[in-house]
Amino acid sequence: MSCPYQCSHEVEQMCYVAKGAKHGPAPIPEEGKWVQAKEIKDISGLTHGVGWCAPQQGACKLTLNVKDGVIQEALIETIGCSGMTHSAAMAAEVLPGKTVLEALNTDLVCDAINTAMRELFLQIAYGRTQSAFSEGGLPIGAGLEDLGKGLRSQIGTMYSTKQKGVRYLEMAEGYVKRIALDKNDEVIGYEFVRMGPFMEQLKKGADPKEALAKCTGTYGRFSKEQGAVKFIDPRHE
Per-residue model confidence as pLDDT tens digits over 142-165: 988 888 777 888 889 999 999 999
Low-confidence ranges of the chain (pLDDT < 70): 1
* Residue ranges of domains in the chain, CATH in brackets: 28-146 (3.90.1010.10), 157-232 (no CATH)
Measured N-to-C along each axis, helices 111-125 and 83-94 cross at an angle, to the nearest 10 degrees, of 40
Name residues whose C-beta falls within 8 Å of residue 52's C-beta, 6 or more positions apart in sequence: 58, 59, 60, 111, 112, 115
Sequence-ordered list of residues with C-beta below 8 angstroms from that of 26, at least 6 positions apart, any chain: 36
At residue 2, the pLDDT reads 76
Residue 61: its pLDDT value, please?
94
In the chain, beta strands by DSSP E: 28-30, 33-35, 45-52, 59-67, 70-79, 157-161, 165-171, 174-181, 187-193, 216-220, 230-232
Output the pLDDT for position 1: 66
